[in-house]
Structure 1
């Protein structure tokens, strides 16, 4: 019984450590860019700063930076005026899945932080 508890405690620490490591791999500039954009959408207030900072932290806990970066790139390219060339950022299932993962993480962050 004690071994099982020790094993579960060790597993919990490792899981928390993995989430913290994943969250810390976001560059400061990417976090700042997210917070600034979020704040602009939410009134540029101190409260918005706190909520938006919470949101990027929550997203970073859920998604590795490479996934976040890929989804953000695809969304920016979709918003551009690429015409038919933009299909590469809309159509592949991998792109839709990556964007879906970001949207899911954003939804969970909104529930937690706003």
Structure 2
């Protein structure tokens, strides 16, 4: 029974790690670059920003992260084209989810 439980624990841990690591490397790098621009380009900022993206990735699935990033980008478009990204409930929910994750990352990492 002990071996079966250990094997199950390994599978669950591997599955969770895969879920947390569903962000492509390029997305993680872009996040860290942006974070470092906002927080200084120091070795300490690299550590804090790397921690931050890991926290965000653990709290927000990559598909939701992409949605929130799209909303942030498109909300800047003026006029009717950007309006749905500024006013829709889905856009607001996606942004709020990302902002909560970033706030948690701020607490844990900075």
For this structure pair, what is the TM-score category when the shorter chain's length is used for normalisation? 0.7 to 0.9
Q: Which residue of 2 aligns with 1:3?
A: none
Q: Which residue of 2 aligns with 1:72?
A: 69
Q: Secondary structure at the match of 2:82?
A: helix
Q: Which residue of 2 aligns with 1:41?
A: 38
Q: How many residues align?
A: 106
- Mapped contact 1:59–1:109 kept (Cα < 8 A): yes
- Mapped contact 1:70–1:98 kept (Cα < 8 A): yes
Distance 1:73 1:48, change over 3 A: same
Structure 2: how far apart are the matches of 1:81 and 1:41? Answer: 22
- Aligned match of 2:107 in 86, 111, 114? 111
1:21-50 Cα offsets, whole Å, 9 max, x none, are: 222110101000000000011110000000
Distance 1:18 1:105, change over 3 A: farther
Q: Which blocks of at least 5 consecutive residues in structure 1 are unaligned? A: 1-5
Deviation at 1:87, TM superposition (A): 1.1
Aligned ranges for residues 1-114 of structure 1 at < 5 Å? 14=12, 16-78=13-75, 80-114=76-110
Deviation at 1:66, TM superposition (A): 0.2
Q: Secondary structure at the match of 1:40?
A: helix
Let me know the Cα RMSD of the aligned residues: 2.0
Displacement over 6 Å in runs of 4+: none
TM-score normalised by the chain length of structure 1: 0.82
Q: Which blocks of at least 5 consecutive residues in structure 2 are unaligned? A: none
